[in-house]
Amino acid sequence: MKRHLQALCLGLLALLLACGVSVAKPVKIHGFVTAFNSPTSFDIEDYKITRDSTLVMEIEKEDDGGALATFKPEDIRVGTELEIKGNYDESTSELKASSIKVFLDDTRTIKRVALIEKVPTLQRSNAGWIGTVAADGQKVSIAETTVVSFRLNKSERKQVNKGAEETSPLLSTDQLTLNTFIHYEGVRQSDGSILAKKVEFQHAELADGEAKMWRELTPKIKATDFSNSKPGELRVEKTKYKLVPSKEAQDYITTLGESIVPTRQRDLPLDSNLRIPFRFFLVEDKSFNASCYPNGVVIVHSGIFDVAENEAQLAFVLSHEITHAIEKHVWREHEYHKNALMALRIGGAVGAAFGGQGISNMTTLIEAGVRNGYARSLENQADRVGLEWMLASGYDVREAPETWKAVAKKYGDHRTNFFWDNHDNNTMRRSYLMSEIRNNYADVDFSSLRKDTEEFHKVAGVVHDTTARKKKIKLKTAKQ
């Protein structure tokens, strides 16, 4: 009886589909609003969301369980982060929401650190400073009420007399150079900019610990035999990579990568310890992945050429990785809440020593949460700033979210275990980039930007031929 009922249901479903009747299926998506029509109609990437006006939205909670802030449906805008459950009609792309959870990271107070992109032209008034700072891939607005200060870095503190103030009010914009970090705290405005409550400038420096990290990550290279297509070897600390045995492909990756490194870096004196000696390597690996070490060693997997559809998409991958090094992400994550994390580890060790293994496990989970949350914020920053460097190099930034569409086409729209692992899924990454582009690049003339070159496809063919040749040699060896 059960079997007959199942067959009947399947038959009815087939009949409905044959008659053109759409069947909605339950889905859950997490992403950023990319288009806003009304509080009851908006888009997240390709999903057209409809919301009944009576549906009450859930607001994320603080760690202590308290409500973060009030949020009305009218507050939804491009860039609002939402998790939506509902029934999705594939034929119309309409998702009728049955529940909506709002994440307020972009509406509550924002605290971030980034290099300034241009020397700001701030004006001094009787009450304070007024102006805008281009940083973090967006605009940070400074009003008379903004507390603006300048903080000495470690090397500068060593050069001043003991007892001198480490932090003081900003006296002049002459104190600011392109190699200056801005520590800002503020609230996002309806136009996407950040109205700063507090801004602190600090010159960048290469800390002793960071310099040691650079040295430990110095690459060791075994030369490639290009004439015999024999791959060389790259070793960074304990990780080994096989280099793609094509001089043409290696030169292409190097030339493209160097063209994306921002002028601010290329113009630094050769003996400056802030100059990052970027080096680009194409390695044999079928996964869609890329990574950048803090000393500028950029690793590009050959599998990227199986996914990226044009040069602009590859340029975005490289600009994202270059940003990690320029913004000192590895070092900043290393330093982030170092004392608090150390206290957690000590507490966990003490708990385990006295039989409290549950306490030890809990502190490990808390630490992972702190790390992962901060790592995700750095990945978002690499996306935002990466778009800036991509645009400055003449590439169409609209191809950045298309990169994730290409990934979804190849691997499916699920959480990946490779490439920007701290991001949740392809829909989330596409929608985040789309919202950033619509908020910050509305006045860009995209017609003057490039998407593709013949050289990209030529090199892609070389990489594919090299991979096929390698497989052929392996099969021949196995038969012998």
Assigned CATH for 21-103: 2.40.50.140
Hey, which residues does 148 pair with through a beta bridge?
199
Token pair of 45 as six digits: 């990437």
Residues 6+ apart with CB under 8 A from 3: none
Q: Residue 471: what pLDDT? A: 65
- Decide if 410 contacts 307 (C-beta within 8 A): yes
Q: Which of 320, 378, 369 has the alpha carbon at shortest distance from 344?
A: 369
Token pair of 480 as six digits: 């012998």
Ordered DSSP codes for 317-362: HHHHHHHHHHTTHHHHHHHTTHHHHHHHHHHHHHHHHTT-HHHHHH
Rounded Cα–Cα distance for residues 151 and 167 (Å): 4
Rounded Cα–Cα distance for residues 34 and 458 (Å): 35
Sole residue written with tokens 């290469």: 206
Q: Residue 369: what pLDDT? A: 46
3 state SS of 162? coil
Token pair of 81 as six digits: 């982060």
Rounded Cα–Cα distance for residues 476 and 114 (Å): 53
CATH 2.40.50.140 domain residues, the chain: 21-103
Q: Residue 354: what pLDDT? A: 42
34 Rama class: left (phi>0) / alpha (psi -120 to 50) / beta:
alpha
Q: Which of 22, 43, 38 has the alpha carbon at shortest distance from 427?
A: 43
357-392 vs 426-440: helix crossing angle, rounded to 10: 40
**Angle in degrees, CA 302, 228, 287, rounded to 5:** 10
Strands 138-142 and 194-203: parallel
What are the backbone angles phi and psi of residue 129, rounded to the nearest 5°? -100, 150
Average pLDDT, 10 consecutive residues per value, the chain (480 residues): 56 54 80 94 95 91 56 89 94 95 78 93 91 94 96 91 86 94 91 91 96 95 93 95 97 98 95 96 94 96 96 98 95 74 47 42 45 76 96 97 91 54 68 93 94 97 85 59
Token pair of 231 as six digits: 């791959």
Other Cβ atoms less than 10 A from the Cβ of 274: the count is 16
Sign of the torsion angle spanned by Cα atoms 81, 137, 318, 221: negative
Give the DSSP letter of residue 227: G
Rounded Cα–Cα distance for residues 313 and 409 (Å): 14
Rounded Cα–Cα distance for residues 253 and 257 (Å): 6
